[in-house]
Amino acid sequence: MPYSSAAQTTRPEQIFGSITMFTALSIAGLGGGTFSLYHSIRALLRKKSWEFKVPSIKIGTFKLPWFVIFLALYIVMIAIGLMIRGNQQVAQTTWLTVLMIGLAGLLPALTIFTLGAWRVHNKKDEHWSTTWRRIAVAITSGATSAILFAMIFELVLGLVIQAGLHVNSFQLDDPNMPIPNDMRAIIYLFLVVAVVAPFVEEGVKPLAVVAMIGRINSASEAFLLGMACGIGFDLVETSGYIGMGYSNWVDVAIQRSSAGLLHSFGAGMSALGWYYLTHSKSLPRRRILIGLGCGAYAVLQHAIWNGSFVFQLLPAPIGPYFDKGIITIGSYPIPSILIIYAIETALMVIFFLFVTGKLGRNSNRDQLPGKAPKPTDEERQTKEVVYSTPYPQGQPQPAR
């Protein structure tokens, strides 16, 4: 999250941010809990869950995947936000503003999630890698228990670091928080956001995947479920951040556009690492090294993103430019620090496409729980030959 040198948020913005966060947590708890309860009942009744599929719209011979639609809707939502930017009257219509903030956080997350699901699917297999039941559990876990554990661990570790450095507390969750001038406060800020937060969050986000790791059938399923955990985490966190923008919520929404990619991709890589470490036959060689590397990448990616505020502390002219510089697109001002985040986003997208492409090409035929893989054409032809072969009279024939 970029840090700016703007003034502290006013009380109405803090209250509205709290309302938005409460709404997000309520929806995550009630909605996710209801969905998970429904699938739990189906599991107790021994009913198979539906395959998780990414639908597409066929236009002629071209299939338009849903992620493009989510991306288009997000662009429309940002355009609406820019048109009403700074309008206090609209902001005071709480339900409408909360709805727009929710969509501003949801749509980019769904864009990256459906893109990932579409790419990790083995195009040669009619079956998809996971089920709706597991997706529901993963998203709910990321939006509830992962958020709770992250808050607890980050608070405790933050207090320990604060006591060790003898610095005063300040609001880390404020998107308008100025960077402190005191060196000890800067060290505290860096340790909390670029060390503690990445290790804690990348550790707790994929807990649902870790709990069911023994029943996961492929690397692509582990990655997709990890992404679902990260999406749940991102929806709650990002809604709280955007809500602090109040009438200028679109500014924070633009800054948080890549949060869905950051959290979902990171959690997906962590889950993928767990899969490789716990499945001895998942890779032919260097399995342990690659598994640890996946987890390390998730932490490093998060640490670099959170620690990018150090560019604002560099000597002139670089530091002051990123700290207070403005880029004007049309009539809309954008903080110069977003250049750094844009470059990091582009690099994440490139590696995301590489990883998902590898998983999609190299994944074995996904076997859903309780469903045996279908025989190949060669196996089917072999059976037909065996069944059609005449046997001497009195010799037992194979059971069909």
The 8-class DSSP code of residue 317 comes to T
pLDDT at 207: 94
The 8-class DSSP code of residue 131 comes to B
Cβ atoms 301, 265 nearer than 8 A: yes
pLDDT at 397: 43
Residues near 251 by Cβ (< 8 Å), separated by ≥ 6?
Answer: 85, 245
pLDDT at 300: 97
Residue 272: CB atoms within 10 A of its CB come to 31
Structure pTM? 0.81
Cβ atoms 231, 142 nearer than 8 A: yes
Cβ atoms 180, 189 nearer than 8 A: yes
Cβ atoms 253, 245 nearer than 8 A: yes
pLDDT at 200: 97
Q: Give the pLDDT of the chain (400 residues) as one tens digit per residue.
A: 444 433 344 456 666 667 777 777 777 777 777 777 776 787 787 777 777 787 777 766 667 778 899 999 999 988 888 888 766 676 666 677 778 888 888 899 999 999 999 899 877 777 777 888 889 889 999 998 999 999 999 999 999 998 888 887 665 655 566 777 788 888 999 999 999 999 999 999 999 999 999 989 899 999 999 999 999 999 888 887 887 776 678 888 888 889 999 999 999 999 999 999 999 888 888 999 999 999 999 999 999 999 999 999 999 899 999 988 998 887 888 889 999 999 999 999 999 999 999 998 876 544 444 444 444 444 444 444 444 444 444 444 444 4
The neighbouring-strand residues paired with 326 are: 335
CA separation, residue 113 to residues 28, 365, 379 (Å): 17, 21, 35
Spatial distance between the Cα atoms of 294 and 352, rounded to a whole number of angstroms: 12
The residue written with tokens 């809500």 in the block is 243
Q: What share of the chain is helix, strand, coil (3-state, %, to 5)?
A: 70, 5, 30
The residue written with tokens 């840090």 in the block is 3
Locate 281 and state its tokens.
């036959």
Locate 149 and state its tokens.
């554990």
SS (H, E, C) 48-75: CCCECCCCEEEECCEEEEHHHHHHHHHH
pLDDT at 23: 75
